[in-house]
């Protein structure tokens, strides 16, 4: 097209303005820049405080974690459970207990339009919901134990800070209807394997907080000890003495640390049964060679725990972290935690049911995963791509999706890029993906119903019938068709 005919109204206007010798300031701004600044000026929406997006670039850490949870659930025979994000507030007040930060400060509570008799909330955790479902749907009638796992978002109106969000994701495993120490060990093994098998170094911190009676006696001794040291404590701890004495052991303030270290240890208040239960759990962990630390100050603030409590901590040295995911992780930040809750089902109106479980925070786990990949402590699992399909010309492009779909259905993983039209551009991508084969489909191949298979290493090419492509490719990548179908 001749350039002089390609005038648009704006350039005509400009020309007129120039001819009139108007000051430069009136010149029409560069359209590109104007569009950009207008867009950002117009855009008014941003994430709510404490919320976050998991962008595609972060998903490569999330997907293997979710796959790992799924695999562990299958191996240890846990069945998936999904419960609603909203529940009655009283469910959590009853189970987690007043005096805890979750209940006193962090619940998202609101009234439903239908004016429910009780207020509703966004779930801050899922154990109480799982136990509610277990009672409500008569799962206690099934052969025990009932082993359930879940994955989903939780909500806590926490003060946003490194490693703390207001909406965050957890996966969790719960075993209901079994009081054996082997159950505690199995749960700890799953939590440990989750990280260990992804190449993430972790250790378990573990303690026993006994049963209700033992704990009550211990709390009396703890309060007495702390009252005598009251003047040396931080403001929060002074309040905790009356409000939630066990939380005194969670304090991380330096002024309280020496007092905490000298405090009475709950292990000395345990009955013979509780002590023996705990010793058996530790024997299992020794047998399984799971690294653990006994931490007498570990009490897990929630009311529903009894006997074994544990948390999982990162042990890799991450040095200075410069994350762009908004999560920073120190060795003091737990990746997850759990324990026994033998009284919870009964407290909620169900039958007495021995139970235990744990949950892992996926934001912190994803951050740890990413940091460990960057430090080459671990690697992301490789997605094996069997071939790259390159197309040339309109007809080939049209046919290629059908061929890709057929190959995919036979179990092959095929990459492609339909926006690139040059063969070179597409083969460059194939090279960068290190695929063993490229499948090349041009005009001629479409007409002959054939396709070229190119061995990317040797450069040797062969032409095969499109109908035989799946069979030939499966043979080449040595996939057992039956096995693929079974999966
Ligand atoms: P908890 O039962 O409160 O100990 O939570 C179990 C795990 O969930 C923690 O170890 C964290 O990994 C994760 N978690 C808890 N609260 C938050 C939060 N506000 N933001 C991100 N992750 C959290």
pLDDT tens digits, residue range 378-405? 999 988 899 999 999 999 999 999 999 9
pLDDT above 60 (res 193):
yes
Q: What one-character DSSP code corresponds to residue 244?
A: -
The ligand 1 atom nearest the CA atom of 359 = 6
Tokens for 445, please give them.
């191949």
- Average pLDDT of the residues in 134-148: 97
Residue 154 pLDDT: 98
Residue 321 pLDDT: 60
Ligand 1 binding pocket includes 240 (Cβ within 6 Å) = no
d(CA 396, CA 391) in angstroms, rounded, equals 6
How many A from CA of 454 to the centre of ligand 1? 50
Residue 350 pLDDT: 95
Concatenate the DSSP letters of all residues of 386-447 into one string. -EEEEE-SHHHHHHHHHHHHHHHHTT--EEE-TT--SHHHHHHHHHHTT-SEEEEE-HHHHH
How many A from CA of 260 to the centre of ligand 1? 23
Note whether 204 and 190 are within 8 A (CB): no
Ligand 1 binding pocket includes 335 (Cβ within 6 Å) = yes
Tokens for 419, please give them.
């926006």
Residue 30 pLDDT: 46
- The topology (CATH level 3) of 387-486 is Rossmann fold (3.40.50)
How many A from CA of 368 to the centre of ligand 1? 14
Lowest average pLDDT, out of 19-23, 210-214, 434-438, goes to: 19-23
Q: Whose CA is nearest to atom 12 of ligand 1?
A: 361
Q: Whose CA is nearest to atom 15 of ligand 1?
A: 361
Residue 252 pLDDT: 82
Tokens for 271, please give them.
């009955």
Q: How sure is the predictor about 325, in pLDDT bands with cuts at 50, 70 and 90?
A: low
How many A from CA of 156 to the centre of ligand 1? 9
Note whether 287 and 186 are within 8 A (CB): no
Residue 481 pLDDT: 41
d(CA 281, CA 263) in angstroms, rounded, equals 24
Strands (E), 46-166: 79-80, 86-88, 108-110, 120-122, 146-155
The ligand 1 atom nearest the CA atom of 360 = 7
Residue 323 pLDDT: 52
Ligand 1 pocket test target in 156, 364, 369 with most atoms within 8 Å of CB: 364
Identify the residue whose tokens are 């939590």: 191
How many A from CA of 27 to the centre of ligand 1? 56
How many A from CA of 336 to the centre of ligand 1? 6
d(CA 97, CA 104) in angstroms, rounded, equals 9
d(CA 426, CA 452) in angstroms, rounded, equals 14
pLDDT tens sequence across 86-130? 999 999 998 888 878 888 889 999 888 776 567 899 999 999 999
Q: Which one is predicted more confidently, 301 or 263?
A: 263
Q: Whose CA is nearest to atom 16 of ligand 1?
A: 164
- Average pLDDT of the residues in 350-374: 96
- From edge to edge, which strands make up the β-sheet containing 387-391? 414-416, 387-391, 437-441, 450-455, 461-465
Residue 6 pLDDT: 37
pLDDT above 80 (res 4):
no
Note whether 127 and 304 are within 8 A (CB): yes
Q: Whose CA is nearest to atom 4 of ligand 1?
A: 337
Ligand 1 binding pocket includes 334 (Cβ within 6 Å) = yes
Q: How sure is the predictor about 247, in pLDDT bands with cuts at 50, 70 and 90?
A: confident
Q: Comparing 56-211+271-374 with 387-486, is the CATH topology the same?
A: no
d(CA 40, CA 156) in angstroms, rounded, equals 31
Ligand 1 binding pocket includes 156 (Cβ within 6 Å) = yes
Q: Whose CA is nearest to atom 17 of ligand 1?
A: 164
Closest Cα partner for 324 from 48, 49, 53? Answer: 53
The ligand 1 atom nearest the CA atom of 164 = 20
Ligand 1 binding pocket includes 270 (Cβ within 6 Å) = no
376 known member of a binding site: no
3-state secondary structure of 241: helix
pLDDT above 60 (res 13):
no
How many A from CA of 457 to the centre of ligand 1? 47
The ligand 1 atom nearest the CA atom of 165 = 20
- Decide yes or no: CATH 3.30.930.10 for domain 56-211+271-374: yes
Element (H, E) at 355: strand 355-361
Note whether 154 and 170 are within 8 A (CB): yes
Residue 28 pLDDT: 41
Residue 117 pLDDT: 64
* Neighbouring residues of 440: CB distance < 8 A, sequence distance ≥ 6: 390, 391, 392, 423, 451, 452, 454, 461
Ligand 1 binding pocket includes 194 (Cβ within 6 Å) = no
pLDDT above 90 (res 17):
no
179 phi and psi angles, rounded to 5 deg: -105, 5
d(CA 92, CA 347) in angstroms, rounded, equals 12
Ligand 1 binding pocket includes 100 (Cβ within 6 Å) = no
The ligand 1 atom nearest the CA atom of 312 = 10
Q: How sure is the predictor about 207, in pLDDT bands with cuts at 50, 70 and 90?
A: very high
Long-range contacts of 319-324 (CB under 8 A, 24+ apart): 319/375, 321/371, 323/367, 323/370, 323/371
Note whether 266 and 306 are within 8 A (CB): no
pLDDT tens sequence across 60-86? 999 999 999 999 999 999 999 999 999
Ligand 1 binding pocket includes 336 (Cβ within 6 Å) = yes
Identify the residue whose tokens are 């993983």: 413
Ligand 1 binding pocket includes 196 (Cβ within 6 Å) = no
Note whether 120 and 107 are within 8 A (CB): no
pTM: 0.84
pLDDT above 80 (res 224):
yes
Residue 326 pLDDT: 56
Instruction: Spell out the domain ranges in the chain.
Output: 3-42, 56-211+271-374, 387-486
304 known member of a binding site: yes
How many A from CA of 337 to the centre of ligand 1? 8
Tokens for 41, please give them.
């000026």
- Average pLDDT of the residues in 415-435: 93
pLDDT tens sequence across 275-287? 999 999 999 999 9
Mean per-residue pLDDT over the chain, rounded: 88
The ligand 1 atom nearest the CA atom of 327 = 21
- From edge to edge, which strands make up the β-sheet containing 120-122? 86-88, 120-122, 108-110
Q: How sure is the predictor about 318, in pLDDT bands with cuts at 50, 70 and 90?
A: confident
Residue 125 pLDDT: 97
Residue 38 pLDDT: 61
300 known member of a binding site: yes
């Amino acid at each position: 097209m001749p350039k002089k005919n390609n005038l648009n109204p704006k350039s005509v206007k400009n020309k007129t303005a120039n001819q009139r010798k108007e000051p430069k300031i009136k010149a029409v701004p560069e359209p590109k820049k104007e569009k950009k600044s207008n867009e950002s000026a117009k855009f008014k929406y941003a994430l709510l405080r404490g919320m976050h997006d998991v962008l595609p670039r972060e998903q490569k850490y999330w997907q293997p974690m979710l796959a790992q949870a799924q695999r562990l659930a299958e191996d240890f025979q846990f069945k998936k459970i999904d419960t609603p994000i909203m529940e009655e507030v009283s469910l959590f007040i009853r189970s987690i207990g007043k005096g805890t930060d979750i209940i006193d400060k962090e619940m998202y509570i609101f009234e439903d339009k239908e004016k429910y008799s009780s207020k509703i909330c966004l779930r801050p955790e899922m154990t109480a919901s799982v136990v509610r479902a277990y009672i409500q749907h008569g799962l206690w009638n099934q052969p025990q134990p009932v082993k359930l796992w879940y994955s989903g978002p939780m909500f806590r109106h926490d003060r946003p800070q490194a490693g703390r969000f207001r909406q965050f994701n957890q996966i969790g495993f719960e075993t209901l209807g079994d009081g054996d120490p082997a159950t505690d060990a199995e749960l700890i093994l799953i939590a440990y394997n989750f990280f260990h098998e992804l190449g993430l170094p972790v250790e378990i911190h573990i303690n026993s907080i006994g049963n209700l009676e033992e704990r009550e006696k211990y709390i009396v001794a703890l309060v007495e000890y702390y009252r005598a040291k009251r003047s040396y404590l931080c403001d929060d701890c002074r309040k905790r003495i009356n409000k939630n004495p066990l939380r005194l052991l969670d304090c991380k303030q330096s002024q309280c640390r020496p007092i905490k270290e000298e405090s009475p240890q709950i292990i000395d208040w345990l009955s013979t049964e509780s002590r023996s239960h705990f010793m058996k759990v530790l024997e299992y962990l020794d047998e399984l060679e799971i690294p653990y630390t006994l931490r007498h100050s570990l009490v897990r603030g929630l009311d529903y725990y009894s006997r074994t409590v544990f948390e999982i901590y990162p042990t890799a040295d991450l040095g200075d972290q410069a994350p762009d995911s908004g999560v920073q992780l120190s060795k003091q930040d737990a990746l997850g935690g759990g324990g026994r809750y033998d009284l919870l089902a009964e407290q909620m109106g169900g039958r007495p049911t021995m139970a235990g479980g744990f949950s892992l925070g996926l934001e912190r786990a994803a951050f740890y995963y990413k940091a460990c990949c960057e430090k080459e402590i671990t690697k992301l699992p490789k997605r094996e791509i069997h071939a790259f399909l390159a197309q040339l010309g309109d007809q080939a492009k049209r046919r290629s999706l059908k061929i890709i779909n057929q190959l995919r259905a036979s179990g092959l993983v095929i990459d492609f890029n339909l926006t690139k039209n040059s063969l070179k551009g597409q083969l460059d991508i194939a090279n960068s993906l290190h695929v063993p084969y490229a499948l090349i489909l041009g005009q001629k191949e479409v007409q002959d119903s054939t396709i070229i298979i190119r061995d990317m290493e040797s450069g040797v090419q062969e032409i095969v019938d499109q109908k035989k492509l799946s069979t030939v490719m499966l043979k080449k990548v040595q996939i057992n068709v039956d096995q693929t179908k079974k999966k």
